[in-house]
Amino acid sequence: MLSYTEIHDVNTCWRTLAAGETRVYKKGSMVPTGTDLNYLLKGCVRLTAMTRDGTEKILWYLRDNTIFNETPVFTEVSSSTAPLPPSIAGLSARARETSLTPVFAHYCTHDSLVGRIPFETAVAAGRANPDLFLNLCRSLGLKVSLLACKMTNEQIASTRECVFGYLATRLRNADEAGVIRLDSNFQDLASYLAVHRVSLYRTLDAAREQGLLDYCRRRKIVRILDPEAFLKEVERD
C-alpha cells in the first residue's frame, strides 16, 4: 500500500551537495526547520504535525537519501524575493492564527546524519542542472500521492486493513524469521495509522489468536509467523 511506504533513495542526485556540511542528530531530537534544504544521508526521520491543542499526527517516515524541509524553504524563503499574491498571502496569514493550524516538525527515530543545502546553493544548482529540480518535483509528487492515499485509507479503511496493510509493506524488510522491527513504539504506530491504540492492540491480539503473528511491546517488534498466509489475509481484506 502506497500510503504506508517509507520514503527513501528518492533524491540521491542531491547527495554530493549535502555532504559538505553535515551534523549528527541523536534519536528523539528535532531537526531544526530553517531556510535551507535538509538531506538525510543516513538514519530515519519522521514528520509530525501538532496543533496548539496538543493533537499530534505522524505523517510519514523518511530514510536515507531524501530531502526534507523543502516546502517551507520554497514557500517562505522564496516568497521574500518573489512575494505571494495578496489573496494567497492573506489566507496563509489567517490560517496561521487558528488553533487548528498544525506545526510541523521532523524528529529522528534513530541517530541520523543530516546534511544541509543552503537555499542559494540549491537554486544555483537547479538552474545549472534542471534535472535536480525535476527530481525534487518527482519526490514532492510522491509525498503528495502518499498523503492522499493515507488520508483516504483513514476515512474508509478498517483498523484491521490499516494495520495489516502497514505490516505488509514492512514485511519485505523483515529478517528470515519474519521479524519486523518498528521504528517507534506502538503508541506512535497507532498515531501513524490514525487508529486508536486500544483498537490496534485488539487487532494484533486477534491476529495472534489466528496464528498469523506475534508481537512484543517492550521490544517493539512484530513477528509474522506465516508470511504467505498473512499476505493472503491482506489480499482478502
Alpha carbon distance, N-terminus to C-terminus of the chain: 12
What is this structure's pTM? 0.79
The pLDDT tens digits for 158-186 are 999 999 999 998 887 788 788 999 888 99
Which parts of the chain have pLDDT scores under 70? 1-2, 76-101
pLDDT for 34 equals: 81
Q: Is residue 36 exposed (0-12), middle (13-18) or buried (19+ Cβ within 10 Å)?
A: buried
Let me know the angle formed at the C-alpha of 127 by 66 and 42, rounded to the nearest 5 degrees. Answer: 15
Per DSSP, 194 falls in state: T
Question: Three-state DSSP class for 220?
Answer: coil
Walk me through the domains of the chain, giving residue ranges and CATH numbers: 2-156 (2.60.120.10), 159-236 (1.10.10.10)
Burial track 190-217 (b if 16+ CB lie within 10 A, e otherwise): bbbbbbeeebbeebbeebeeeebbebee
Select from 166, 172, 155 the least CA-distant residue to 207.
166
